Amino acid sequence: MRAVVTGGTGFIGSHVVDRLCARGDEVAVVDIQPPGAFWQVPAAAKIYNMDVASAACGDLIAEFRPSVIFH
């Protein structure tokens, strides 16, 4: 399954990302964080440092084509 997790570096989002990656799902994390703040995101996840309300995020979703979005 392909999943986008917004706020994937926060408390709840990071646990969702961990579980999805452990299952072998393809995960894209969308969050706004300062450089170096993504250390807790599993290496298997793709990280996108952007605002969920941005046009770039819409483009990401159109390109990534997730089965589900956790927001």
Q: Which residues contact 50 (CB under 8 A, 6 or more apart)?
A: 30, 32, 56, 57, 60
What pLDDT was estimated at residue 40? 78
pLDDT tens column, 4-21: 999 998 889 999 999 999
Do the Cβ atoms of 18 and 42 come closer than 8 Å? yes
Distance CA 29, CA 7 (A): 7
pTM above 0.85, yes or no: yes
Burial of 17 (0-12, 13-18, 19+ CB in 10 A): buried
What pLDDT was estimated at residue 35? 66
What pLDDT was estimated at residue 9? 87
> What residues of the chain score a pLDDT lower than 70?
35-36
